[in-house]
Amino acid sequence: MKPASWNHAEQFVAEDDVLRAARARADEVGVTPIGAGGGAALRFLAAVLDARTVVEIGTGTGVSGLWMLRGMRPDGVLTTVDIEAEHQRLAKETFADAGIPPQRARTISGAALDVLPRLTDGHYDLVFCDGDKREYSAYLREALRLLRPGGVVAFDNALWHDRVADAAQRDEETVAIRELGRQVAEHESLVPVLLPVGDGLLLAKKEWAGED
């Protein structure tokens, strides 16, 4: 794909002033949020799932969370987890600026692998992972427990700055993302797809029991 076509696809769904302000906050605190193309894909996915319950690992300043909230049901609740309480404070500003009622965004401060085991099995429509890349395989295990049948898990940075496709790249994060891709592709209970939007968005649907 030529760069002009990639840029056209990334910008096909335009971001508004609220999202641009959230990105400015992210720059100030050194957070790299999902790109506009990936955000639009998450909103579309939440809408297709008619999502009422979503878990997000990596709140940042609320960019991805707002995209998903805008695709969810009007009564949907986003549960978003981040180790940085300050980031979550900024995310709450983003949600408030967008007119999202406070009860629709539940922020939990803490390490994802400490928080996720406390969430309800089989309760969630969508789990979005954008935390520590070295923990992606552990997030997958938690997501499979948390998702209802038919729910979807999504991972950002699945191409990791073009490093995953380059076999010569063997740093810890790249290896972890590469291993995640193998696990998802080979899992008997998942229907996977890798979308080349942004830095790569890996999606997998948890099949219904008895589904071929």
Q: Taking residues 26-41, report their average pLDDT.
A: 96
Q: 199 CB contacts (<8 Å, ≥6 apart)?
A: 35, 38, 156, 157, 158, 159, 160, 161
Check pLDDT > 50 for residue 211. Answer: no
Q: Taking residues 166-185, report their average pLDDT.
A: 97
Q: Taking residues 83-96, report their average pLDDT.
A: 97
Check pLDDT > 80 for residue 139. Answer: yes
Check pLDDT > 80 for residue 1. Answer: no
Q: Taking residues 84-109, report their average pLDDT.
A: 97
Q: Taking residues 190-198, report their average pLDDT.
A: 96
Check pLDDT > 90 for residue 149. Answer: yes
Instruction: Provide the terminal-to-terminal Cα distance of the chain, rounded to the nearest Å.
Output: 34
Q: pTM value?
A: 0.95
User: Is 142 within 8 Å of 67 (Cβ atoms)?
Assistant: no
If you compute the radius of gyration of the chain from its CA atoms, what whole number of angstroms results? 16
CA separation for the pair 63, 206 (Å, rounded): 25
- Which pLDDT score is estimated for 212? 41
- Which pLDDT score is estimated for 66? 98
